[in-house]
Amino acid sequence: MSKQERRLGVSEVNLVTRKLKLELCNEEALGLAIGEIDEVYGVDRVDYDTDTRRLSLAYDASRLCIDHIEAILDRHAIEISKDWWTRFKEDHYRFVDQNIKDNASKEPWSCH
């Protein structure tokens, strides 16, 4: 298995991928938001598909969580879709991100 190069601040163990559907928005604001997200320490990649309006990103969940990404989108007045599937995925992403962050800060132990 080959080891892929990751950006600074991204650990392969804590790497997660997320996909969010966005509402229609200003393309200039979206470009600025994607540029800002791409510069955040711990983000590995950010892509946007204009046909499906889907933001796809990969980041180190021990360093940041989906709330950081949503805050950047909010600052640029970009809304995430309000459909039930996207809301369900957001809640799941929050849970998993918090779990990874909690586990990354604990010492592993064994009784043997």
Please give the average per-residue pLDDT across 55-66, as a whole number: 89
Is pLDDT of 19 > 90? yes
Domain boundaries defined on the chain: 15-104
Residue 84's pLDDT is what? Answer: 94
The domain 15-104 having CATH identifier 3.40.50.300: the answer here is: no
The predicted model gives 84-108 an average pLDDT of: 88
pLDDT value of residue 1 = 38
Name, in order, each residue with C-beta under 8 angstroms of 81's C-beta and a sequence gap of 6 or more. Answer: 20, 21, 22, 23, 53
| Residue 37 pLDDT > 50 | yes
Mean local confidence (pLDDT), 22-34: 90
Percent of the chain with pLDDT over 90: 53
Contacts of residue 34, defined as CB under 8 A and 6 or more positions apart, other chains included, come to 46, 48, 55
